[in-house]
């Protein structure tokens, strides 16, 4: 069986038909393994929770792992998601990233996972694609004030971490992006230190919402979206969702992160979406959903409060922002 995202993104079908077709694919795929993986089958089965969004697009709403989208929320188009990107290694111009990243080589690829683990391991691209298990339709909120709804394909980060057997001293997980000036000739003028680095607390990393994405819209992840594998942490501002990951290190201290290194007064380690704590230079109370006129209220933890608020009990978000 081919991993879901082996279909090249160039063979994209119109998004109006895609999700329905994916229901089919998934039904076929999971029917074959339902007995062996009963738990997973329940989690990803499209049989329940198919919701019409008022447009042609049907949305997979999995009540186990994601907050339902509101009746007025629809999935962004492939063109919107793959045409408006922050990926500073390629360009600081969001509409130029796709073209600049077009020839980025993402195969072969490997991700080195080590640090405070029992079984350090280098995962090749094939190993990673074989772990693809589900589609997650998530809200995605950039700290700059725009947002989208994105149908990712991937697998929980917890699944990969469990394979390397984290040691009990590990408190945090550090991530690093691929970096090569030859392939990223504009990276020198990005204005941030590279390689791009990010981090999560261990409990955040193990949370079932935290995804390693290997595709979107049922296709291979486009280069500009962080091919071949990127993190997605839907309750945090978009910059935590580090792209094109090559290294994952378990550690016993809070790892450095690119945006708080660049500007510690404006960007903290946690970066949880929070409409009540403004960025020093702008309000975070509202957002502009790409493709829509007007603005929307930003939701606490980006709408995932019920699933993640317990991780931060007692924390002062004005200080730990």
| Burial label, 311 (beta-carbon count in 10 A; 0-12, 13-18, 19+) | middle
Q: Is 89 in the site for ligand MTE (CB under 6 A)?
A: yes
Q: Is 85 in the site for ligand MTE (CB under 6 A)?
A: yes
Closer residue to ligand MTE in complex, CB, 172/243: 243
Closer residue to ligand MTE in complex, CB, 155/196: 196
φ, ψ for residue 298, nearest 5 deg:
-80, 135
Closer residue to Mo ion in complex, CB, 86/257: 86
- Are the C-beta atoms of residues 152 and 202 closer than 8 Å to each other? no
Closest CA to 201 of 120, 262, 255, 257: 255
Cβ–Cβ contacts within 10 Å for residue 103, how many? 8
| Residue sitting closest to ligand MTE (CB) | 238
Q: Pattern 235-254, binding to ligand MTE, x per CB under 6 A?
A: ---xx-xxxx----------
Closer residue to Mo ion in complex, CB, 142/245: 142
The residues binding Mo ion (CB under 5 A) are 86, 142, 238-239
- Are the C-beta atoms of residues 97 and 82 closer than 8 Å to each other? no
- The distance from CA 126 to its chain's CA centroid, rounded to whole angstroms, is 19
- Binding residue (CB under 6 A) for ligand MTE from 53, 66, 133, 177: 177
Q: Pattern 118-147, binding to ligand MTE, x per CB under 6 A?
A: ------------------------x-----
Distance between CA 215 and CA 279 in Å, rounded? Answer: 31
Q: Which residues bind ligand MTE (CB under 6 A)?
A: 85-89, 142, 177, 196, 225-226, 238-239, 241-244
């Amino acid at each position: 069986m081919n991993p879901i995202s082996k279909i090249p993104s160039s063979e994209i079908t119109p998004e109006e038909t895609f999700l329905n077709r994916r229901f089919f694919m998934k039904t076929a795929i999971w029917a074959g393994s339902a007995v062996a993986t009963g738990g997973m089958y329940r989690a990803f089965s499209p049989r329940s929770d198919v919701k019409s969004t008022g447009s042609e697009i049907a949305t997979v709403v999995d009540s186990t792992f994601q907050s339902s989208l509101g009746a007025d929320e629809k999935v962004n188009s492939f063109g919107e998601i793959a045409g408006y990107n922050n990926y500073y290694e390629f360009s600081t111009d969001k509409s130029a990233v796709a073209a600049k990243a077009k020839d980025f080589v993402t195969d072969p690829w490997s991700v080195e996972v080590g640090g405070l683990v029992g079984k350090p391991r280098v995962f090749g691209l094939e190993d990673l694609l074989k772990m693809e298990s589900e589609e997650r339709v998530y809200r995605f909120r950039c700290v700059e004030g725009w947002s989208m709804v994105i149908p990712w394909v991937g697998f929980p980060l917890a699944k990969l971490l469990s394979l390397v057997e984290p040691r009990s001293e590990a408190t945090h997980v550090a991530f690093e992006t691929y970096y090569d000036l030859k392939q990223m000739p504009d990276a020198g003028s990005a204005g941030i230190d590279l390689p791009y680095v990010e981090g999560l607390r261990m409990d955040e990393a193990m949370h079932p919402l935290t995804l390693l994405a290997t595709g979107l819209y049922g296709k291979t992840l486009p280069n500009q979206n962080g091919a071949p594998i990127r993190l997605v942490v839907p309750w945090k501002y978009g910059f935590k969702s580090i792209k094109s990951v090559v290294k994952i290190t378990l550690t016993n201290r809070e790892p450095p992160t690119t945006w708080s290194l660049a500007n510690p007064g404006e960007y903290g380690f946690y970066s949880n979406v929070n409409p009540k704590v403004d960025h020093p230079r702008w309000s975070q109370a509202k957002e502009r959903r790409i493709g829509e006129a007007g603005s929307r209220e930003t939701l606490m933890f980006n709408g995932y409060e019920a699933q993640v608020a317990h991780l931060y009990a007692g924390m002062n978000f004005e200080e730990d922002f």
